[in-house]
A and B are shown apart, each in its own frame.
Chain A
Amino acid sequence: MKKRWLVVNSVIVFACLLTIWSRVVAFAHVPVYILPGPRAVADAIRDRYPSLLGSLWITTGEAAAGLVASIMVGVAIAMTFAQWRGLRQLGFPYTILLQTVPIVAIAPLIINWVGAGILAVSVVTFIICLAPIIANTTQGLISVDENLIHLFLMYKATPAQILFKLRLPNALPNLFTGIRISAGISVIGGLTGELFAGSTRVGEGGLGYAIVYANNQMETAYLFALVFAATVLGFSFFFIVMFLEWLTLHNWHESSRPQMAE
């Protein structure tokens, strides 16, 4: 019952916001290239949805590729950190470095290396998604109850068995925390990358590229449509990850239940 009320209330709030927006625009006679009303944005979505979907599709691919690559590489790095303490102490500071380096500053460099286009954008996304995955997964891999390690040692478990049957499952909740953070910023990474290296051909860029283009052309209504698409993309990523997390953890982990219930 409570859930249904929440849905109804959310719809009402959204409708109110749209109404206020459209009234303000109409009342104050704001020109459409400064702030289009919701109607103008909806028209832009309807009229230009093929190119909108095209851009959305490109950005989705770039962000997903970068995210998936960062998960695979990040988990692999975290596993080596967990297995060799010395390596962790030497390597971990660079993870923080990775997190603090301004991506805007190195994006041109990446384009220099791999050339403009989808690959460059994926690499940018990969770089900004990597640090949260490494940091969280490493934390989960090394914070195993000492008695559980003892238990495995009593069974003469090999290091590989301890890693795969104890540390890795133990790190799953942390890994998902990392993926959730990275899923959010992967879309930002995609957009940022595209600002620099969106396309090699006109009309074939992703959302970030199209936003710059629309802004230059003063197509503000379409720009709003693009922002809306980017927001929807970020949301979808987040919820897909939440769903996968729930699928994996809801049987046994405390964190996954209340979160989904909220």
Chain B
Amino acid sequence: MVTENKGSIPEIALEGVSKRFRNASVALKGISLTIDRGEFVTFLGPSGCGKSTLLKLVSGLSPVSEGTLRINGMTPENARDLISFIFQDATLLPWRTVEHNVELGLELEHAARAARKERVARMLELVSLSHVAKHYPRQLSGGMKMRASIARALVSRPRILLMDEPFAALDEMTRDRLNEELLRLYNEQKWTVLFVTHSVAEAVFLSTRVIILAAHPGRVAQEISINLPWPRTAETRESEAFEEHVTHASRLLRGVYQP
């Protein structure tokens, strides 16, 4: 991997970014943020604070109304190759088997067939889904569907992962386990992650930095660095430092919820 002169070009830079919708409602106002390569940044906040909109802007799926947004110096539209988006629903194609779902991105890019098969197989192994490669999504549990969705996102070797409440629909045990597996992959592959969630515990467990947004209009209210030791495992959740972080973040979040 190319070593980069950190600080010269930030991985993701937002300067005074605002987003207005066609009905003139302001979703985000004056967001300025710099996110370095390899950071795991989580956005917390009440509904209507524009968390998901922010991810849409970074992905380039939705244009910025005001301000500048650069990804590695490029516009979001030009940076699409670097980015994978993981949605709240697994958004698997029901008519494709798990392996063909994972293969989708490579197929659309017309990657060579043999290379495709090999990368898909390796990816499925990485998320422990090899045994259901030939299954259809309807045969999978919610957790397995999300693993497949993550595999599909990772198979195109993204530098940046955008995750919009990916584990919100899962039960707590499944969510915790997927959190741990996500961090294991993160430590191996070192993407930059922008993660949206409603769960304070999940935010603290995963992130290097938590950003709390306030609503109406959506803006940055607080920032917390999470300096829990790595690697983080199930035991991390039982540590005192973890509890302190969660308490602190919850308190700041409550402040934002008040009128």
User: Which secondary structure dominates chain A's binding surface?
Assistant: helix
Partner among B83, B93, B156 whose Cβ is within 8 Å of the Cβ of A166: B93
Stretch of B1-9, B102-110, B194-202 contacting A (4+ beta carbons < 8 Å): B102-110
Which residues from chain A contact B85 at a C-beta distance below 8 Å?
150-151, 154
Q: Is B218 an interface residue (CB 8 A)?
A: no
CA distance in complex: A251, B94 (Å):
9
Nearest CB of B to A96, in Å: 30
> In this complex, which of A153, A155, A161, A251 has the most chain B Cβ atoms within 10 angstroms of its Cβ?
A155
Cross-chain contact of A154 among B84, B89, B94 (Cβ < 8 A): B84
B91 touches A145 (CB 8 A): yes
- B108 in complex: contacting residue of A145, A150, A155, A172, CB < 8 Å: A155
B95's contact among A151, A155, A169, by CB below 8 Å, is which?
A169
Across the interface, do B94 and A157 meet the contact criterion of CB distance under 8 Å? no
Tell whether, in the assembled complex, residue B95 and residue A147 are in contact, meaning their CB atoms are under 8 Å apart: no
- Tell me the bound Cα distance from A157 to B107 in angstroms: 10
A46: CB under 8 A from chain B? no
B80 cross-chain contacts in A, Cβ below 8 A? 154, 156
Q: Does A152 contact B (CB under 8 A)?
A: yes
B contact residues around A253 at 8 Å (CB): 94-95
Q: Are A161 and B108 in contact (CB under 8 A)?
A: yes
Q: How large is the interface on B (under 10, 10 to 19, 20 to 34, 35 or more residues)?
A: 20 to 34
Task: Count residues of A near B (Cβ-Cβ below 8 Å).
Answer: 20
Contact pattern, A 106-136, Cβ under 8 Å of B = 1, otherwise 0: 0000000000000000000000000000000
- Quick check: is B50 within 8 A (CB to CB) of the other chain? no
Q: Is A39 an interface residue (CB 8 A)?
A: no
Do B138 and A147 touch (CB < 8 A)? no
- Closest A residue, CB atoms, query B59: A154
B221 at the binding interface (Cβ < 8 Å): no
Residues of A within 8 A of B61 (CB): 150, 153-154
Besides the contacts A156-B81, A254-B138, what 9 more A-B pairs have beta carbons closer than 8 Å?
A147-B89, A148-B91, A148-B93, A151-B104, A154-B59, A154-B80, A155-B105, A155-B108, A156-B80
A sample of 6 inter-chain contacts (CB < 8 A) reads: A145-B91, A150-B85, A154-B59, A154-B61, A154-B80, A165-B107
- Per CB-CB distance, the 4 closest pairs between chain A and chain B, nearest first, are A155-B108, A147-B87, A252-B136, A169-B95
